[in-house]
Structure 1
Amino acid sequence: MTTTPHRQTLAAPVTEPDVDRRPIISVAAGRALAVLRIAFGLSFLWAFVDKLFGLGYATPSGKGWIDGGDPTAGFLGKGTSGPFADFYRSLVGDWWVTPLFMAGLAGIGLALTLGIGIRIAAAAGALLYLLMWSAVLPPENNPVLDDHILGAITLVVFALVAAGNLWGFGRQWAKLDLVRRYPWLR
């Protein structure tokens, strides 16, 4: 950490080609990104828990995955619209769809909340957001943008600034031999 006369800054993990010094972000900005990362992580974990147990929020009581319900059937079967609706409806009941979706929610949520594997979580989460966006084209309130696109962009930003390093286990994760060998796991 470096200090300037009036504010503290953190060295950002990103460097520009042909630039000698590392860009810096303020401590406040780093903290704001950490809070946003944790909030996104908890939102993925909440979706997982609600769909697993059918807590009566997005998933009706007694319709959770643990009760034999299919957390993806309602959205894929009745909530899709636009040019890809038939494709998404054709996925209802496929043996691999719900387990992959639930594993994605849990994995992305844990990674973001703990600050580990941010790059892979960001890629998986951005893909999930883009798939959900394409399932309801055109978006309801804007011809192009909606919360899914904003979520995907936010996850990419997390990966680019190594958002798991502050208030997360990103630094410890990056020191693991496996992660050093395969930096895409950071």
Structure 2
Amino acid sequence: MSTRTEITRTAPARSALDAPAARVFIALTRIALGFVYLWAFVDKLFGFGVATPPEGSVLAGQSPSAGYLSHTEGALSGMFQALAGNPVVDVLFMLGLGAVGAAFISGIGLRLAALGGTFVMGGIYLSMLPLSNNPIVDEHLLYVLMGWMLAAIGAGSALGLGAWWQSLSWVRGRRWLY
């Protein structure tokens, strides 16, 4: 006589990331990170006097990279000082700040935003080595890691346009555009 084994089906385990409160905090983290980049872009462009005085703004004809890069003192300062004021570096820096900020705020293209953020904040991190307060970690490295974490968990669909973006026919299947 055979014994019948009954298999009970259970719902797949839910991740804590699926909880409504977690999705709200993920979205707020994504938007706040985007604002870090976008504010730096806007302040350097217009010179609101917070980090960039009006006379130091891009619209006043100033280089957004010269002020910082020409005064680096770290181990790689020679390399970064050579980049100071270079028009190509200035354009890439401003495009990086603006595009990364807009992507994180909207939830669109987070993988590309994480890559762009790695170049922008990773470059700033490298320009500061050795760090003065902590031998390994500062906020620039945290911004890079946070960007990749948000991209990895698909944070663009948490109160953002990520799900809509991924549903577009020319984006669907191209995971690097997510």
Report the TM-score, using the length of structure 2 for normalisation.
0.88
Q: CA deviation at 1:88?
A: 0.3
Indicate whether 1:41 and 2:31 are aligned.
no
Bigger Cα Rg = 2
- Give CA-to-partner distance per residue, 1:31-70, whole Å, 9 cap, x none: 1110010011112111101000111111112221011011
Query: Shift in Å at residue 22 of structure 1?
Result: 6.6
Match of 1:68 among 45, 61, 64: 61
Q: 1:32 to 1:65 in 2, by over 3 A?
A: same
The sequence identity of aligned pairs, in percent, is 39
Range that drifts further, 106-115 or 122-131: 122-131
Q: Indicate the structure whose relative CO is greater, using CA pairs within 8 Å and at least 6 residues apart.
A: 2
CA distance in 2, matches of 1:174, 1:23: 22
Structure 1: gaps of 5 or more residues: 1-19
Moved over 4 A (4+): 20-23
**Correspondence for 1:90 among 57, 70, 82:** 82
Q: Give the alignment of 1:3-152 within 5 angstroms.
A: 21=12, 24=15, 25=17, 26-78=19-71, 80-152=72-144
Measured in 1, the distance between the counterparts of 2:13 and 2:108 equals: 22
Distance 1:54 1:23, change over 3 A: same
Q: Aligned residue pairs: how many?
A: 166
> What secondary structure sits across from 2:129 in the alignment?
coil
Work out the CA distance in 2 between the residues paired with 1:49 and 1:139. Answer: 27
User: Normalising to structure 1: TM-score of the pair?
Assistant: 0.85
Q: If each structure's strand is expressed as a fraction of its own residues, which one has the higher value?
A: 1
> Given residue 149 of structure 1, which amino acid in structure 2 is its aligned partner?
L
User: Partners of 2:14 and 2:115 in 1: how far apart?
Assistant: 24
Q: Greater helix percent: which structure?
A: 2
- TM-superposed CA distance for 1:139, in Å, is 1.3
> Structure 2 regions of 5+ residues with no counterpart?
1-10
